[in-house]
Amino acid sequence: MKIRWPFKKLTDQNWLGINLSQLNPSAVIYRAGNIVAAKSFNQKQGIEALAGWIKKNATAGMPAVLILDSSDYELLLTEAPNVPDDELNAAMEFRVADLIAQDVSKTAIQAIRLPPDAYRGRMPMAHVIAAPNEKIEAWVDWAKELKLSISLITVPELCLLNLLALFDIEQGVGLLGLSSDKGSLRLYQAGALYLTRQIEVGLDALELVSAESQEETDEEDDNENFTLETFDQIKEDSDELDLELNDLEEQGEGELSLDDYVPFSGKQRVNEHQLENLILQVQRSLDYYESQLGMGQITRLMLLSDGTDLADLVEVMGDKLSVKIEQPDITKKFKEFNFDIADEITELNSTAVAIGGALAYDGS
């Protein structure tokens, strides 16, 4: 059986946005203009804890938007054929058949065109979401066991776009999501997703070294150095980027001592090596967006996490990058837009993706 992405609209007073992330599963119960309930869990608590919360708080038959985990799908960027929009998904099946890990006949395909100004208008491009049917079927069965009515199945990249639209952010903006062991950078402009990149640095790596253990490490690593591309050289080379983003190589060298650490939290210090690695990956993506996509400069970068306070990281990265960096307070932003938020909800940053999923549902 060929599964298609179910974009039908249902009506109900309340509905659910469910983020099926393995690292940060979460859910919100939403009603137009109201966040009725919200809850997030860590990786150890997992999907089982999320299901328990849904059983306790959701009513039978409640519409739900399911947001796939990154391991449930592939997101590809490829040239789009010159076909009508209603034929794009079918056309893309042939184009990505050799690019995905599973049989395309057993895969749900959704293609999303990039705006024509991307890549300086040289070629039409599209993002392709490819999810194995068996994974979608498993989540459909999971939702049925919880007595939910599935309205939509989507992915985090599109959910976050819904948040930006709600907050009326049209200019180029980057969303850097950081989990315990990895991150993801998504670049948006004027209501469209232009670029995504996986970041191989997570919060655990950044906070790997404790202040106490570092004293011993300092003695061992006193004379140990590593070479690293400097930020001035990145900017000088940005106009010469000819390769695909993943093929970019470091061109400059600088010296940075391994025993250099910067404050990140009260009892821990950031591993400077990992911090510089994170910043380099972000800078490369921003340079690629400007020079290869021809979309101008990203001037705003928002950090998203599982609720961890990233104020110190914002400050450190702000000193290294020529972009305004912030960790938005999602709760505060919703209140600024006159949303009613249940009194027991103390923070919404950890449920941002689930909220974005809920916003994709049309309850009218």
Give pLDDT tens digits for 285-296: 999 888 888 888
Longest Cα–Cα distance of the chain, Å, equals 66
Would the pLDDT of 121 be above 70?
yes
The answer to whether residues 256 and 228 touch, using CB atoms and an 8 Å cutoff, is yes
Element (H, E) at 276: helix 272-291
pLDDT for 119 equals: 86
**Per-residue pLDDT reduced to its tens digit, 239-267:** 444 444 444 334 333 333 333 334 444 33
Report in angstroms the alpha-carbon separations of 172 from 25, 42, 161, 188, 289. Answer: 28, 31, 12, 6, 10
156-200 per-position pLDDT tens digit: 999 999 999 888 887 899 999 998 888 999 999 988 999 999 998
Which of these, 51, 49, 23, 58, lies nearest to 358 by C-alpha position?
58
36-95 confidence digits (pLDDT tens): 999 999 999 999 999 999 999 999 999 999 999 999 999 999 999 999 999 999 999 999
Percent of all residues in the chain with a pLDDT value above 90, rounded to a whole number: 58
Per-residue pLDDT, 3: 41
The DSSP output letter for 106 is: G
For residue 252, the SS3 value is coil
8 Å CB contact between 66 and 143:
yes
Hey, where are the domains in the chain? 15-167+337-359, 173-328
Please tell me which residue, 59 or 207, carries the higher pLDDT value: 59
3-state helix, strand, coil in the chain (%, to 5): 35, 25, 35
* Nearest one of 14, 23, 22, 5 to 54, comparing CA atoms: 14
CATH class for the domain made up of 173-328: alpha beta
| Cα Rg of the chain (Å, integer) | 21
**CATH number for region 15-167+337-359:** 3.30.420.380
Q: Which tokens is 305 given?
A: 């996490």
Q: How confident is the model at residue 270 (pLDDT cuts 50, 70, 90)?
A: low
| Neighbour-count burial of 104, counting CB atoms closer than 10 A to its CB (0-12 exposed, 13-18 middle, 19+ buried) | middle
In the chain the beta strands, taken as DSSP E runs, fall at: 15-19, 26-31, 34-40, 63-67, 74-79, 107-113, 125-132, 149-154, 173-178, 183-189, 192-199, 209-210, 225-227, 255-257, 261-265, 268-271, 300-304, 324-326, 340-341
- On the CB side of 333, CA atoms within 13 Å amount to 15
CA distances from 66 to 58, 129, 270, 360 (A): 14, 15, 35, 10
Closest of 33, 27, 22, 31 to residue 57, by C-alpha:
27
Q: Would strands 107-113 and 209-210 be described as parallel, antiparallel, or unpaired?
A: unpaired
Quick check: 222 pLDDT over 60? Answer: no
Mean pLDDT, residues 21-27 taken together: 95
**Topology match between the domains 15-167+337-359 and 173-328:** yes
